[in-house]
Structure 1
């Protein structure tokens, strides 16, 4: 009788151990990707009113999207919108229906290892979360060489529509990302950027 009781107790413990093991979900790996030649044209410019549809990008799928809801950031010319906050009043900007936010960090891409303790903001009636204009956000415009270049030492961290985190470094505004762009020969606006995306909701690690 004692042997039977011990055997039942052992099986119960073993089963409980296996059940707990099965409940542990392994963390998804971080995704490190490069997006090349994401085309984000605008109409107007050169003194004319700027317009045109924004090109939307979704970190979860790692691709451009036409979805009205499943997008994180959107591009048009040198302007970048996030799917969070409210309309800024810019012509043809996308409707925000998510809770995406952005933080701008000074440092190298590899040195930004976490989204914890960062200050995030969203698009507002007065400005985009990533400010527009030369030297204000992600780029510099050189009036002597007529080139648009990414500002070194700036990394952009996003909290996405899924509640995940991604970091981005912008590489080029020119098609095929030439090392020395020729503004009269190299087509724009074609974004190239690197990003790391953490697939685990709420996990702030970016390395």
Structure 2
């Protein structure tokens, strides 16, 4: 009888331990997986260097570089009519796969705050490309992502990314969000305050940018 009692107590203790472990495992799973078993937090951060747009200056025609933020790779121009790309660069102009620029459900917002301070994408207010001159990310100096120094600036005739400006992009599938910071428009990300800076050594139209994308569809970006 005493041996049976010990066995019963031992089995009861093992049952309680198993139940406790199952509870802990379930609680941990609830924190990291969604209703379909996918991870809740899938934030990826990438730095793209020297993305060449084929920019030829004021008198030469511009080419366009199409890019997938979801896949972190360049998309062939032959696929420009698809939803494979999310954002495209031509000279200083940035297109979003939406409206007049592509068949996607993309959109964008220009935020006057730093990349690091941007922790969540807005839930509404996304603009789309409606015409060649009315774009989600406005063109022109101090309108979108850059400042043009002009004749009297330092250095003269130079494109300088605006500080504390973050681009929020809704991807072409309409389901994911990314934040982006343009770092440089010149190959090699040169120091623009250096008096030796010149566009022969550092050709223009080569984007360097950082972005963070939330692949699970949520708007959390930090």
TM-score range normalised by the length of the shorter chain: 0.7 to 0.9
Give the whole-Å Cα distance in 2 for the aligned partners of 1:97 and 1:31: 25
Q: 1:169 aligns with which of 172, 175, 181?
A: 181
- Would you say 1:113 and 2:126 are equivalent positions? no
Q: Which residue number in structure 2 is paired with residue 194 of structure 1?
A: 210
Asked if the contact 1:140/1:151 (under 8 Å) is kept, the reply is yes
Per the normalisation by structure 2, the TM-score is: 0.73
Structure 2 unaligned regions, length at least 5:
1-18
Give the whole-Å Cα distance in 1 for the aligned partners of 2:211 and 2:48: 8
Change (3 A) 1:51 1:99: farther
Q: Which residue number in structure 2 is paired with residue 72 of structure 1?
A: 86
Asked if the contact 2:39/2:216 (under 8 Å) is kept, the reply is no
Q: Which residue number in structure 2 is paired with residue 137 of structure 1?
A: 144
Q: Which residue number in structure 1 is paired with residue 105 of structure 2?
A: 99
CA offset at residue 116 of structure 1?
2.9
Structure 1 unaligned regions, length at least 5:
1-13, 88-95
Give the whole-Å Cα distance in 1 for the aligned partners of 2:220 and 2:53: 30
Structure having the higher helix fraction is: 2
Asked if the contact 2:145/2:162 (under 8 Å) is kept, the reply is yes
Q: How many residue pairs get matched?
A: 180
Q: Which residue number in structure 1 is paired with residue 96 of structure 2?
A: 82
Q: 1:29 aligns with which of 34, 38, 42?
A: 42
Secondary structure of the 2:204 match is: coil
Asked if the contact 1:103/1:118 (under 8 Å) is kept, the reply is no
Per the normalisation by structure 1, the TM-score is: 0.78
Please tell me whether Structure 1 or Structure 2 has the larger radius of gyration of its CA atoms.
2
Asked if the contact 1:30/1:206 (under 8 Å) is kept, the reply is yes
Asked if the contact 1:73/1:81 (under 8 Å) is kept, the reply is yes
